[in-house]
Amino acid sequence: AQSVAQPEDQVNVAEGNPLTVKCTYSVSGNPYLFWYVQYPNRGLQFLLKYITGDNLVKGSYGFEAEFNKSQTSFHLKKPSALVSDSALYFCAVRDGGYSTLTFGKGTMLLVSP
Amino acid sequence: DTAVSQTPKYLVTQMGNDKSIKCEQNLGHDTMYWYKQDSKKFLKIMFSYNNKELIINETVPNRFSPKSPDKAHLNLHINSLELGDSAVYFCASSQDRGLINEKLFFGSGTQLSVL
């Protein structure tokens, strides 16, 4: 079985500061990892994914994520936060093959001016 | 043009009623999904169709019946609505079900409130 944990319900950061949204996963095979963002009253939007290759993955809007196999983590990062980054962020994992995406419970990111 | 569109955006109804939510995608994708997001924002898959064929049916009450008239449409019909059905329902699509690196495209959601 596959699972995803996002240990923080909310992350607060000041504009201009770096941000990290944490995600850990559990799979039986190779993990395929994703980050999605949900703005208020909108559907989820794809940010980035890790399938194989470089552990640091770059995505939309200046976000990046680092895959760490030993720690089974895939934390989302951005060097300098913007107020417009405030949204709900979901980590998701797929265990390969035809398995479905399993989403974490989401982390609300609030960036203050 | 909206890639994945679902209607209605808001649905308020009484317990016991039957209602439908419609979803259409214009991306040419083969696979469509229904997800339920509860009040705590937890997102859980309900159904998935690939080329009009049901491929995923999670533990969902049989009051929920998806229907896919063609691969561009996946509608969700709910019978005998209950208070616990109140949630936001998201439709999504992807190019194929088997590609492990594929991403999902989501609609903007239908907020269902059962009174």
Q: Is residue A18's pLDDT more than 90? A: yes
pLDDT computed for residue B100 by the predictor: 61
Q: Is residue B20's pLDDT more than 70? A: yes
Give the pLDDT band of residue A41 (cuts 50, 70, 90): confident
Token code pair at residue B37? 């997001």
What single string gives the DSSP state of each residue in A28-80? SS--EEEEEEE-TTS-EEEEEEE-SS-SEEE-GGG-EEEEETTTTEEEEEESS
pLDDT digits (tens, 9 = 90+) for B53-72: 887 777 788 999 999 999 89
Q: Are A35 and A76 in contact (CB under 8 A)?
A: yes
pLDDT computed for residue B50 by the predictor: 85
| A100: nearest CB among B40, B56, B105 | B56
* Cβ-defined contact of A44 to B40 (cutoff 8 Å): no
pLDDT computed for residue B55 by the predictor: 79
Q: Are A104 and B41 in contact (CB under 8 A)?
A: no
pLDDT computed for residue B57 by the predictor: 76
pLDDT computed for residue A90 by the predictor: 96
Cis peptide before B8 (omega within 30 of 0): yes
Contact B11/A at CB under 8 A: no
Q: Is residue A102's pLDDT more than 60? A: yes
Mean pLDDT of chain B: 90
What single string gives the DSSP state of each residue in B24-68? EE-S--SEEEEEEE-TT--EEEEEEEETTEEEEE-S--TTEEEEE
pLDDT computed for residue A57 by the predictor: 95
Q: Can you tell me the mean pLDDT for A83-103?
A: 86
**Higher per-residue confidence, B49 vs A68:** A68
| A101: nearest CB among B41, B90, B104 | B104
* Minimal CA separation from B43 to chain A, in Å: 6
**pLDDT over 90 for what percent of chain B?**
64
For A6, A40, B39, B73, the CA distances from B22, given in Å and listed in that order, are: 31, 21, 21, 8
Q: Can you tell me the mean pLDDT for B6-35?
A: 95
Maximum mean pLDDT: which of A22-31, A37-46, B40-49, B80-89: B80-89
**pLDDT over 90 for what percent of chain A?**
77
